[in-house]
Amino acid sequence: MIRCLVALGVLVLSGLAAGEELRFCLRADPKTFDPALVADEYSFAVQYLTGGVLVRFNRRTQAMEPELATSWKVDQGGRRITLQLRQGVRFSDGTPFTAQDVIYTIRRLLDPALHSPIGDSFRSGAGELRAESKRPDQVVLTFPAPVVNLERLLDQVFVQSATSPLKEKAGLGPFVLKEYKTGAQLLFARNPQYWKRDKQGRALPYADGVRLSIQANRETELLRFERGEIDLINTLDTRLYDRLQKEMPRAVADLGPGLDSEFVWFNQAPGSPLPAYKKKWFTSAAFRRAVSGAINRADLCRLALNGHAVPAAGPISPANQAWFNRDLKPHAFDPKGSLQMLEKAGFRKGPGGLTDSEGHRVEFSLVTNAGNPARARLASLLEQDLAQLGIKINIVTLDMPSLLERISRTADYEACLLGFVNTDVDPNGHMNVLLSSASNHPWNPKQAKPATPWEAEIDALMQAQAGLADARQRKAKFDRVQRILWEQTPIVYLLHKNYLVAVSPNLQGADPRPLAPQTYWNIEWIAPSGTRTISQR
């Protein structure tokens, strides 16, 4: 009798502990629940769980696959897309999904007053979008000018209902938001109207719900994972990864390099308040190339990121299979060659360090953001590497708003160490960084006309590839852009960080990939422990 009671108690307790809920953490509150205004990863997470897209970019195959659109056809050189819509689909509140919803969503995204970052990706030229629906299951969208990789952009567009009284709260995704407590948690319940089914005809998602805890403290997040209170950690830092690998080796995975990159650039803005001799150094390709050659990228990866990174040759990571230029290798670590290059450019290394042809000691400040230990380690290693050339670096850490003010408004800085978080694999995602006229062109933003011939060439190549429908031709042009960046080194690319994740061994169906959202991109197929047997797609 007692044994039976104990067994029953254990059963009840284990059932309570396991549940059928997926649990993981966000590091901050989502900034918006409006699908059109999503810009940060936390708002994106909410939309990813609750929103439905027409076409999905499969993070495993890196190919587009049908979702709410069963098929699509792009023609007129990328100006027009015809979408065949899935029938019988309903929003979470029961409102039927129609062609009008697609038209409403796209029109809203392109509303110039909304300033939607997703909408801006579609903005191809002056003029109006033409949206037609001759049949209830078909939508034809005609853009004023070609939109490159049109179907790929649709992966970011979460369809909103044109008629639901719940507006953006009515979603087409696998879950619906049930409760939100600021700073504490978001609770999602299974969307009873979700259209997707597995091979056995069972309604997805497998999980009954999702609990997202707002957890800024990474140590606490790890502790909760170790205790089994959460099932996933989407991005681990290297220190915590190595710790967890020792304790729970089956739970961690190094997914290899992601799309993000870490890099240094020198301020080349002619209007910056820097002395003329420093501007001369920074605008010298030989100086930049020599600095790049003096950096031991393998050591940066090994020491700053415990080996969880790969040296970078340019802005595109090897994880981006379609657009990575395989002919380019990271600048070789060659301090002697770098010194020779500098000597040719008029620099001299003496007992007091490196001096330029006018006798100025080569010394500059390197600004970076505070609160990023890996980046701080990178800065220290750069300081050591460049000391071999006789260059003195003064590391300055600033909080992000101050740093952004300096690099984007006052141009009051000498060199900057930062990283790009890339979510888009397409080269057009780099347009606002690579075009010389762009605000986010790091080394010399908002140029009225390209300051150098090679920047003019990059502008021409980027604009040309954006107008081409042929992927091979685009690749050839973007390969050339990568080569110019490699040769001229306006940005000294350092490394691409690996994506480090943790997934509870109790989960079934998890398939982490280095593209966001790494661990839960296939969330409808992930089954928490305690869920009934699942079938593969």
Give residues in contact with another protein (CB under 8 A): 28-32, 39, 112, 115-118, 120-121, 123, 181-184, 213-217, 220, 223, 371, 398-405, 408-409, 420, 424, 429-433, 438-440
Name the residue nearer to another protein (CB basis): 42 or 104.
42
Report in angstroms how near the CB of residue 431 gets to another protein at its nearest: 7
Smallest CA-to-CA distance from 24 within 500, 530, 381, 520 is with: 520
CB of 254 to another protein, least distance (A): 27
| E strands present in 198-301 | 209-214, 232-233, 252-257, 261-266
**Centroid of chain to Cα 267:** 25
CB of 316 to another protein, least distance (A): 14
With respect to another protein, which residue has the nearer C-beta, 354 or 407?
407
Question: Which residue, chain included where needed, has tokens 């900034």?
Answer: 31
Strands (DSSP E) contained in 154-194 are 175-181, 185-190
Q: Compare residues 258 and 311 and give the one whose CB is closer to another protein.
A: 258
- Contact in structure between 430 and 485 (CB atoms under 8 Å): no
Closer residue to another protein in complex, CB, 268/369: 369
Tokens 């100006």 sit at which residue? 79
| Lookup: tokens for 304 | 């700053």
Give the DSSP H or E segment for 279: helix 276-282
CB 394 within 8 A of CB 358: no
Query: Cβ 405 to another protein, closest distance in Å?
Result: 4
Minimal distance, residue 217 CB to another protein, in Å: 7
- Asked if 264 and 489 touch (Cβ cutoff 8 Å), the reply is no
Stated length of the chain: 537
Shortest CB 424 distance to another protein, Å: 8
Quick one: how far is CA 452 from the chain centroid?
Answer: 29
- Residue among 283 and 369 whose Cβ is closer to another protein: 369
Both tokens assigned to 497: 């960080």
What DSSP letter does each residue of 35-92 carry, written as one string? GGG--SHHHHHHHHHH---SEEE-TTT-SEEESSEEEEEEEGGGTEEEEEEPSS-B-T
Closest approach, Cβ 9 to another protein, in A, equals 19
Cβ distance to another protein smaller for residue 394 or 408: 408
Q: Given the complex with another protein, which of 153 and 362 has the nearer CB atom? A: 153
